[in-house]
Structure 1
């Protein structure tokens, strides 16, 4: 079975989530594999960043828990973010190439575009569009750039139309 096949893979144990950017590993962290139906993969992990990351509109910090959803056929991932007490902070979405899973590794290529939706839905933000423009993807891989921009538009529409519950349920 290939990493992109539509057949369900065993959904238990741990996987290493590997986020690749510009051909290099940006971050790698262990996560509990919750489900893999052959198309969508769900994992849960503690905040893997070092210390606190304050974006101004949300803080990611030690104790935060991310339930992360990746697709083999979509150009994004959606991460539900909760604090250590279980209170929902919101959803952080990465525009990525479709995920691949081979054994204990879940690999995702970050394409710079991101979206944030606060828990109450009042704050929906497109992020890092300047980084995306600087990446040169529109020049080097126009079809991928178009797919990335379409994915960001889809995420924003979902966020503004009530959130991600239907997508993740």
Structure 2
């Protein structure tokens, strides 16, 4: 876990580092909300420079992401709220298990993603074409199998009524 803050009323800040294909895709500061040794929870504003419109959701200035990472699971779940605090939905990344060390939270993105709308009526698998083209299946078949299994598990959870219990 990150070092405690000198001011106990101020959250500890960690740097989230998202790695993809061996390169840093994005890095941003986030407040560390919890770390129970297995699950790490951070909160950060939308880290993009511009609005990103996926067609089914827009990430934009003012959005806040509460991000859940696991040291023993192959995914991360990011709750997305707008500037007024309304839940837009959950963007889920298929990743290798997260590593928190030295004030940095490092996560390796494996190209597969899942979206679940706030009302649960829209659950969609994303970027399966990118995953197929990534070459992970050839380079690391065990990791590729774990990624596909994680996406299947996450989709099943997202379609269920108790999805948010995963984050409690």
Is this a same-fold pair by TM over 0.5? yes
3-state SS in 1 of match to 2:161 = coil
SS at match of 1:108: strand
Quickly say closer, same or farther: Cα 1:163–1:118, change in 2 above 3 A: farther
Deviations 1:37-68 (CA, angstroms, capped at 9, x unpaired): 11000000000011100000000000000000
Identify unmatched segments of 5+ residues in structure 2.
5-10
Aligned to 1:56: 55
In structure 1, what is the equivalent of residue 164 of structure 2? 165
Q: What is the aligned partner in structure 2 of residue 24 from structure 1?
A: 23
Deviation at 1:162, TM superposition (A): 1.9
| Counterpart in the other structure of 1:43 | 42
What is the Cα deviation at residue 10 of structure 1?
5.5
**Match status 1:110 vs 2:109:** yes
What's the secondary structure of 1:154's corresponding residue?
A: helix
Residues 9 and 36 of structure 1 are in contact (CA less than 8 Å); yes or no, is this contact kept in structure 2? no
Give TM-score, length-normalised by structure 1. 0.93
Is the Cα–Cα contact under 8 Å of residues 10 and 36 in structure 1 kept in the other structure?
A: no
Q: TM-score, normalised by structure 2?
A: 0.94
Query: What is the CA-CA distance between 1:164 and the residue it aligns to?
Result: 2.6
Count of paired positions: 162
The runs of 4+ residues in structure 1 deviating greater than 2 Å are 8-12
Q: Decide whether the 8 Å contact of 1:34 with 1:44 is kept in 2.
A: yes
**Corresponding residue number in structure 2 for 1:146:** 145
